[in-house]
Amino acid sequence: MSTPSAHELDFVVRALRDWQDDLAPMQLHPGDLGWFWQFGAEATAAALRVWAQDEHVVAIGFLDGHDMLRLTVAPEVHHDEVLADQLVTDVGDPERGVLPAGTVSVETPNGTLIQQRLTDSGWDLGESWTPLRLDLTEPVERPALRIEVVGSEQASAFAAVHRSAWDSPRFTVELWQMMTMGLPYADARCLLGYDDRGVAVAGVTAWSAGRGKPGLIEPLGVHADHRRAGHARSMCLAAAAALKELGSSSVLVCTESARIAAVATYESAGFERLPERLDRARNA
């Protein structure tokens, strides 16, 4: 296990791209790292843990906060007993430098042996998440909003929509610019939706993992002053259209199961629910 340097992020992103597959369960996506890249390459590298065997990357963990590890493994080792046991040891021992002592959570793809090993080791079932998927082999419905791809001219409006949508006053144009400098953004689009008065009302970021791979929505938000008007559905469709243009095979999104309205919005845009996923939690 190691923490990569900023100069080694390319091989981490490349591995995550390679592991994406429409037949695989929802897992850590290059877009998850891409959104975090707003804090810079050094911070992104520091938030990663990489497991390798014979110089071949077999597992990647992303610390999405100090107490949450989002962990995925290479397809060929989904059921590898040695790796699963090592991962359980590493995430469970604070001295290994992955997760601290106290209450922590681990996200893993459904059906992987590490998920079962965590349960066998006494980790509780944690927060429930609902993944959803939209197949891009068929044409995408045209959104009701006017859509613009965000560049330097739209960055201020995009940041303002995000701050309002997520009650996140820290998000600035400078953070957006840093994110767009990251490796994953080479295959991404930030989109801004305008209503019929020309007001920016919603934004979304769509992340491709390459042609023939599933893309990701992360995040999507509607300005607090313009909710309950169907704008979120329009932005789902806009993101899908952008990813289809980039060559993605499908669109993935994952939201807390408790956010019933969000799940319903994605379903209204044609997304299909995938099997629910439960974090594993260790309580202090």
* Predicted pLDDT at 167: 96
Give the up-direction half-sphere exposure of residue 240: CA atoms within 13 A in the CB hemisphere: 26
Are 142 and 113 in a shared domain? no
DSSP lists the bridge partners of residue 253 as 132
Query: Which one of 129, 146, 164 terminates a domain?
Result: 129
Are 111 and 148 in a shared domain? no
Q: Residue 21: which domain range? A: 6-129
Q: Return the residue matching tokens 């900023």.
A: 6
214: enclosing H helix or E strand: strand 214-222
Q: Which CATH number does the domain housing residue 24 bear?
A: 3.40.630
Name the residue type at position 156. S
Q: What is the pLDDT of residues 44-77, one digit of tens each?
A: 999 999 999 998 999 999 999 999 999 999 999 9
- The answer as to whether 282 is a domain residue is no
Residues lower than pLDDT 70 in the chain: none
* Predicted pLDDT at 4: 98
Are 155 and 256 in a shared domain? yes
- The answer as to whether 284 is a domain residue is no
* Predicted pLDDT at 273: 97
Are 104 and 215 in a shared domain? no
Q: What is the DSSP string of 48-71?
A: EEEEEETTEEEEEEEESSTTEEEE
* Predicted pLDDT at 284: 74
Give the up-direction half-sphere exposure of residue 173: CA atoms within 13 A in the CB hemisphere: 8
**Secondary structure of 88-156 in HEC code, one letter for each residue:** HHHHHCHHHCCCCCCCEEEECCCCCHHHHHHHHCCCEEEEEEEEEEEECCCCCCCCCCEEEECCCCCHH
Q: What is the pLDDT of residues 98-117, one digit of tens each?
A: 999 999 999 999 999 999 99
